[in-house]
Amino acid sequence: MAAGRFDLYFPPFNGLTPAQKEDLTEKADLLFFGGGEEILAPERKVDALYLVLKGIVGEMAAGEVTGVYREEDIFDSRSLLTGRVENRFVAHEETLLYALPRRAVLAAAEDSPEFGAYFFARISEKPRSPARVGGQMEWHNILTATIRDVGARTPVFLDASSSIALAARAMRENHCRAVLVLDGERVGIFTMSNFCDAIADAVPRDSPIGARAYYTLYCCDEDEHVFSALLLMTRHNIQRVVVTKKGKPTGVLPQIDLLSFFSSHSHLVSKQIEQAADLDGLIEAGGGIDATIATLNATGMKTPQLARLVQALDMRLMERLWQLCAPPEVAAGCTLLALGSGGRGEQILKTDQDNALIFSDALDPAAVEKAAAAFCDGLLKVGYPPCGGGIMANQPAWRGTERDWRERITRWAHSPDKETWMHLAAWLDAETVAGGTARLDACRQYLSWRVRGERQWFGWLARAISQFDHLQAENRFWRQLLHRHGEAHFDIKKGGIFPIVHGVRVLAVEAGIMPVNTFERLEALAVAGVIERVFADDLAGALAFMMKLRLDGGLGARRWGKEAGNIVDTGALSSLERDSLRESLALARKFKTFVSRHYQLGRF
């Protein structure tokens, strides 16, 4: 059968060459099923991978729908290795399938690692789905940015008669790796490599730079696109271009600046934060963080890394805001904390502000209250919505001296109740924003001393993991998906992210692990042997993927002027993403079982 009869233009087939596609489809048949007909039964031998050309297929386990496959979806990739399916597959409506022979799929997987990775990589290694339409828009912004947007460095001009020693001093003083050389009408450049040559050739240090400078300059006008500068550098293998305005050299643009512009706008934002003189300046910088997020997500930066970068910026912004709000004597006696996702470094889009203060006994509580109120109000104006649970430094319960905090911790540790676990969970993820880490460390040590070895206490804390009926919600979700025109929404925080984050949190605290970031905790738990290495990596992959979904959804919502939330609309997902979501949720479920067994939660 000729390739292209059914155009396999979508993932994972889009990476295959026409010849590979032809090999894959040469022995493929078409299968037609009426609504309600069974396609595959459990334990039956399977010799093909099915691609849905039309219709909807439901995957059933124990009478419940556990997966849904629509046009361009593939099932059952798990059977590729074993040759058997575990679950029942039923045509939900009239369905047309393309049956790709198992042997041909395996051969293609061998030929094309990218294609093979789709089927055989664990979720943590799955290829990232390419940035989608929205992402391309952000890319567009980068593509159209001009050199002026990046900002060139002011050059150092030296006369051609200046000595090499003078040039070296000028470079050192100005922290630059090139100077421009004025030789009458000519302009040249003297760079670090000229300098190396001069030393190598044993040129005396007082000889003029004019004789050793390059006079062929690679120039870009400041209104040219940044990409032309990058191209020029790549083509001529040079480290910098001279930026001109109306033909006159006005600056130098080093490659490193250009690359950091591409990889992030973040350093510009952080500069903006540091230079902000008032709240308005910070509000502007806060907008810069949002733009950075959208851009970096579009350039394909991994979500966990992106989250950490955003955390660094957020922390700097909060620190600067605190400096603006708190008089120096108050600031000196206070430790400002970011709690919850902000502390863990897993909040990307600003969803809420969770913060707290520990202050010295010597301070006037009224002065601290005033500073805290100004701080929370300022954060709100910058764009951090208030915390629904009231976990904010302007609330008396989230502000206190070290002794106050010890009392709270004792209360949490000894009289656990349904409300306090959320507070405790937020507290366990605290990270210092300003004021040194000593006060937080002391509080933490106190907590770990109080609860050390109290297995029952950890069990109580872990129990929240099953507060949300995972399976039922998931089933409802997959069932919704069966209805083509209905929207299928799923709370990815409750259903997938929370169980992983919380379970990891409890296990990490019990194991005395200090970092609060979930990925770092997972790594430490794997090293300590609490969680098997493979499982820990899979969980990290699943969490990263779900964070990415939430981020994509949030950025999409923002583009439509809506609030970013935790709800994922699966109608907008590609089949690749739905597949990964299915796997991620299964991992979250497996982890819940693991935690329940670990703390023997069944006994409660």
Partner 1 sequence: MCESLFAALRKRRIRPAYRALFDQDDGQIVSIDCETTSLDVKQAELLAIAAVKIDGGRIAVSTAFQAIVRPRSAPDSDNVRIHGLRPVDVHAGAAPEEALRVLLDFIGGRTLLGYYLEYDVAVLNKYLKPLLGTALPNRKRELSSRYHDWRQRLYPGAYIDLRWETMIHRLEIPALPRHDAMNDAITAAMMHLALEERFRPPLSRNK
Distances (CA, A) of 504 to 108, 224, 429, 462: 38, 49, 11, 9
Smallest distance from partner 1 to CB 98, Å: 9
Q: Which of 457, 445, 450 is nearest to 421 (CA)?
A: 457
- Minimum gap (Å) between residue 237 Cβ and partner 1: 48
Q: How far is CA 604 from the centre of its chain?
A: 36
436: which DSSP letter?
-
Judged by beta carbon, residue 28 or residue 356, the one nearer partner 1 is 28
Nearer to partner 1, 33 or 412 (CB): 33
CB of 67 to partner 1, least distance (A): 21
Closer residue to partner 1 in complex, CB, 24/233 = 24
d(CA 278, CA 275): 9
Between 20 and 347, whose beta carbon lies closer to partner 1?
20
Tokens 């997987």, located at residue: 109
109/474 Cα distance (integer angstroms): 31
Q: Quote the least distance from Cβ 60 to partner 1, whole Å.
A: 14
**Cβ 78 to partner 1, closest distance in Å?**
23
Q: Among 81, 91, 31, 26, which Cα is nearest to 55's?
A: 91
Toward partner 1, which CB reaches closer, 42 or 327? Answer: 42
Token readout for 439 is 């006060």
Nearest approach, Cβ of 47 to partner 1 (angstroms)? 12
Positions in the binding site for partner 1 (CB under 8 A): 1-2, 5-6, 26-38, 53-54, 94, 96, 99, 101
Q: Which is nearer to partner 1, 28 or 330 (CB)?
A: 28
The token pair at 190 is 């003297």
| Residue number, 32 or 604, with CB nearest to partner 1 | 32
* Shortest Cβ 482–partner 1 spacing (Å): 16
Q: Is the separation of the CB atoms in 124 and 137 below 8 Å?
A: no
Tokens of 96: 């047309």
DSSP letters for 34-73: -TT-EEE-TT-B--EEEEEEES-EEEEETTEEEEEE-TT-
Q: What is the DSSP string of 173-225?
A: HHT-SEEEEEETTEEEEEEHHHHHHHHHTT--TTSBGGGTSB----EEETTSB
Least Å from the CB of residue 58 to partner 1: 14
Q: 30 vs 196, which CB is nearer to partner 1?
A: 30
With vertex at residue 512, the alpha carbon angle to CA 507 and CA 515, rounded to the nearest 5 degrees, is: 85
